[in-house]
């Protein structure tokens, strides 16, 4: 593995994540300042988890466990620029998929239409477009709703065989 671990946020992690968000795209282009990012990182309905590599915070994922029709929704995922290309994003995504596989058959997220690098990342990881919110946050840019099917879950919560 790449040595990245993921842990629950604590201490000043929400502040760190909000600073990372507000200083990078897509949040810069979307006009999200630090205060809005901090509010997102501390929303009571969401879970913030931090990626750590060699003792340093290097990324985060923010998840709403019952976000889209009761299925988990990745609100935000970000990797510090110094750590991009080192598997941090893939580790965060795999962590969330493992956390919800078996209790949900679906995982959702949105990606901004101008964020080509992120879109390619999600495509590589099996997400498919299921909808578009035209001019949703800023004029001229769509938010693209992506979906990934996790292991099927039976009505009793047990995994169904494939």
Cis upstream peptide for 16 (omega within 30°):
no
Residue ranges making up the domain that contains 109? 5-149
What average pLDDT does range 22-26 have in this prediction? 95
Report how far apart the first and last C-alpha atoms of the chain are (Å, whole number): 27
- Asked whether residue 153 carries a pLDDT value surpassing 70, the answer given is no
162 domain residue, yes or no: no
Q: What is the pLDDT of residue 2?
A: 81
155 domain residue, yes or no: no
- Asked whether residue 152 carries a pLDDT value surpassing 90, the answer given is no
What average pLDDT does range 145-157 have in this prediction? 74
89 domain residue, yes or no: yes
- Residue-wise pLDDT tens digits, 63-118: 999 999 999 999 999 999 999 989 999 999 999 999 999 999 999 999 999 999 99
How many folded domains does the chain comprise? 1
- Asked whether residue 129 carries a pLDDT value surpassing 80, the answer given is yes
160 domain residue, yes or no: no
Q: What is the pLDDT of residue 161?
A: 37
- Residue-wise pLDDT tens digits, 27-77: 999 999 999 999 999 999 999 999 999 999 999 999 999 999 999 999 999
Confidence of residue 157 (pLDDT cuts 50, 70, 90): very low
CB neighbour class for 68 (10 Å; exposed up to 12, middle 13-18, buried from 19): middle
157 domain residue, yes or no: no
- Asked whether residue 120 carries a pLDDT value surpassing 90, the answer given is yes
154 domain residue, yes or no: no
């Amino acid at each position: 593995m790449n040595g990245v671990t993921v842990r629950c946020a604590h201490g000043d992690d929400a502040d760190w994540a909000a600073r990372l968000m507000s200083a990078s795209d897509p949040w810069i282009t979307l006009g999200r300042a630090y205060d809005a990012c901090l509010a997102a990182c501390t929303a009571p309905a969401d879970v913030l988890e931090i990626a750590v590599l060699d003792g340093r915070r290097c990324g985060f994922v923010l998840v709403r466990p019952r976000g889209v029709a009761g299925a988990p929704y990745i609100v935000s995922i970000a990797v510090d620029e110094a750590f991009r290309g080192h598997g941090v994003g893939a580790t965060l995504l795999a962590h969330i998929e493992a956390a919800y596989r078996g209790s949900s058959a679906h995982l959702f997220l949105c990606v901004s239409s101008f964020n080509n690098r992120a879109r390619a990342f999600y495509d590589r990881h099996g997400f498919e477009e299921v909808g578009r919110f035209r001019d949703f946050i800023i004029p001229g840019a769509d938010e693209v709703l992506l979906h990934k099917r996790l292991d099927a879950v039976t009505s009793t919560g047990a995994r169904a065989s494939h």
